[in-house]
Amino acid sequence: MNGFVTPIFLSFLGVCFGAVAGSFLNVLIHRVPLLIDASEGQVSVWGYISGLAWPPSRCATCDHALGWRDNIPIVSYLVLRGRCRFCHDGYGVRHLAVEIFSAAAFAYCMVAFGLTAKAYLAAGFLAALVALSAIDIEEQLLPDVVLAPLFCLGLVFHALYAGGLTDAGLGAAAGYGILWLIREAYRIYSGGEGMGYGDVKFAAVLGVWLGLAAVPAALFLAFAGGSALMLPLTLFGRVGERAPVPFGPFLAFGGFCAFVLPGLASLTASVLPA
């Protein structure tokens, strides 16, 4: 009985922590691009801290301050049906999706790794993938203020729980190098920018978390996922051939799969040509 109760308790704890983290991520997703735009990219560390901490949560439409009962993760959204209590304007599905994905990530990590520092680091990584995907979809931006701390936490995670700093460094170099070569090859061939430099840095972050062996699997899944989604949309005219497409969500998808399913590294190695 105790063996069954413990996963349930850890899942519940993970959902609670993850939903709160997801609420914060929604603030980060909304405010970081605004802070960058307001200062033309020159935001200090204190500027980010103060900008995320203040002012308190408000409705983006009517600017009315939200009380505690409007800020309960997931629950408030469902009770209010995704609308502001005061102006009744919709918040959009992204708010709920981020909180649910974050809650699921924390629950998974709590069950997989227990109530440990490893679980919190892993959950932070998965939750950050959600935030980076949302920012890239909405703003076509992968901000350094998220990537840089995530890179440092990846070094800590890999040093303590995975293959060590050497493997982390090689993974970062592989991720960065492969994406940089693809970006430069496209630029030389087409004369335009086919991939943002933020994607290159994001690949390095994935590499430091996943290690050298898993980088090919993550990038393979990222490009396969991107092709599987975008090719039909392009063929049916839903997306123009040269329309800008955020690649961050596909990198996040590849990184997520390679992290939670480490066996994919060997599977991908057997599929890719030697």
Per the prediction, the chain carries an average pLDDT of 85
Least Cα distance to 201 among 180, 220, 221 occurs for: 180
For residues 80 and 72, what is the distance between their CA atoms, to the nearest angstrom?
Answer: 11
Residue 259 lies in a domain: yes
182 falls within a domain: yes
Average of per-residue pLDDT across 176-181:
94
Residues 127, 185: Cα–Cα separation, whole Å: 32
Amino acid at the residue 167: D
Residues 103 and 199 in one domain: no
Judge if 162 and 236 occupy the same domain.
Answer: yes
pLDDT in tens, 47-85: 888 888 877 787 777 777 777 777 888 888 888 887 888
- Clarify whether residues 205 and 167 are in a common domain: yes
> Is 131 within the bounds of a domain?
no
When comparing pLDDT for 271 and 17, which is higher? 17
Residue 153 lies in a domain: yes
Examine the fold and report which residue of 79, 104, 119 is the final residue of a domain before the chain moves on: 119
User: 164 in a domain, yes or no?
Assistant: yes
111 and 170 assigned to the same domain: no
115 and 150 in a common domain: no
Q: Which residues constitute the domain of residue 147?
A: 142-274
**Sequence-distant (≥ 6) Cβ neighbours of residue 103 within 8 angstroms:** 14, 15, 16, 18, 19, 22, 73, 74
Neighbour-count burial of 40, counting CB atoms closer than 10 A to its CB (0-12 exposed, 13-18 middle, 19+ buried): exposed
108 and 150 in a single domain? The answer is no
End residue of a domain, out of 119, 153, 179:
119
Q: Is residue 174 included in any domain, yes or no?
A: yes
pLDDT cut 90: percent of the chain above it = 53
Q: What is the pLDDT of residues 17-40, one digit of tens each?
A: 999 999 999 999 989 998 988 887
Q: Choose the most confident range, by mean pLDDT, from 12-26, 47-61, 228-242, 251-265.
A: 12-26
Does residue 129 lie within any of the structural domains? Answer: no
Among the residue ranges 54-58, 126-130, 219-223, 237-241, the one predicted with the least confidence is 237-241
Residue 15, pLDDT above cutoff 80 = yes
Residue of 44 and 236 predicted with greater confidence: 44
> How many structural domains compose the chain?
2
Q: Which helix (H) or strand (E) holds 153?
A: helix 144-161
End-to-end Cα distance, the chain: 49
168 and 263 part of one domain = yes
